[in-house]
């Protein structure tokens, strides 16, 4: 039983490392006014460029990840943090109201338990999607936001389950989320956000 628990903890640690790496890389890209799309999980895609870069662990080489992310298309990563494709064209079968094609592709990729990170060049914000909904938004222009990334990742662990009842994409405005950390808005159902607030103030 103890062995199973250790394996589970290692898996959780890996997920958190992946999330933190993607957010930190996304912040650097957003601050320069460039865009990117990351998909962690399984998704159908076509490649726009030859796949000359061999698979690598993104947490160990964030600079290479950042370079690949600047190409057209998405970077696809498996659940263990290995880059599996770049310059990937994801067919959009959903639309992200009031946003462009990158966000629509991200929304289409955010199926099942996939984690999607969209970096917007227009407003310099990072949007994190799961189960077809946005669960977090991070403002790259917020002062010292990089220092809050570990806290944001801790929140993501909590939001993962609670976001199943999250608001629909047509209503994505900050007033329907809560700001627990400066520059970071968490989205979810009123019931879930209330529980998250209560938990936050108890700690």
pLDDT of residue 173: 40
Domain coordinates in residue numbering, the chain: 2-202
Tell me the C-alpha distance between 81 and 148, whole Å.
Answer: 22
Q: What is the mean pLDDT of each run of 10 residues along the chain (203 residues)?
A: 48 77 96 96 93 94 96 95 95 75 91 92 92 87 87 71 39 49 70 48 47
Beta-carbon contacts of 90 under 8 Å, excluding residues fewer than 6 positions away, are 37, 39, 43, 44, 45, 73, 74, 105, 106, 108, 109
Q: Report the C-alpha dihedral over residues 34, 184, 143, 146, rounded to 10 degrees.
A: -70
pLDDT of residue 179: 63
The model's pTM: 0.80
Contact present, 107 and 138 (Cβ < 8 Å) = no
pLDDT of residue 188: 62
In this structure, whether the domain defined by 2-202 belongs to CATH 3.40.1700.10 is answered with yes
Contact present, 38 and 69 (Cβ < 8 Å) = yes
pLDDT of residue 167: 38
């Amino acid at each position: 039983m103890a062995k199973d628990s250790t394996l589970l903890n290692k898996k959780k640690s890996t997920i958190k490392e992946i999330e933190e790496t993607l957010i930190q890389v996304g912040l650097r890209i957003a601050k320069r006014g460039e865009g990117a799309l990351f998909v962690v999980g399984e998704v159908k895609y076509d490649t726009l460029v030859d796949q000359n870069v061999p698979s690598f662990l993104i947490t160990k080489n964030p600079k290479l990840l950042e370079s690949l992310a600047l190409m057209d298309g998405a970077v696809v990563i498996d659940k263990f943090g290995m880059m599996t494709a770049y310059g990937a064209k994801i067919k959009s079968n959903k639309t992200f109201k009031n946003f462009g094609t990158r966000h629509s592709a991200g929304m289409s990729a955010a199926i099942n338990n996939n984690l999607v990170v969209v970096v917007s060049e227009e407003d310099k914000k990072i949007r994190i999607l799961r189960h077809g909904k946005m669960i977090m938004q991070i403002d790259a222009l917020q002062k010292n936001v990089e220092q809050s990334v570990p806290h944001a990742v801790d929140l993501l662990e909590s939001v993962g389950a609670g976001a199943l009842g999250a608001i629909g994409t047509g209503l994505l405005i900050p007033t329907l989320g809560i700001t627990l950390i400066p520059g970071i808005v968490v989205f979810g159902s009123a019931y879930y956000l209330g529980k998250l607030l209560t938990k936050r103030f108890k700690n």
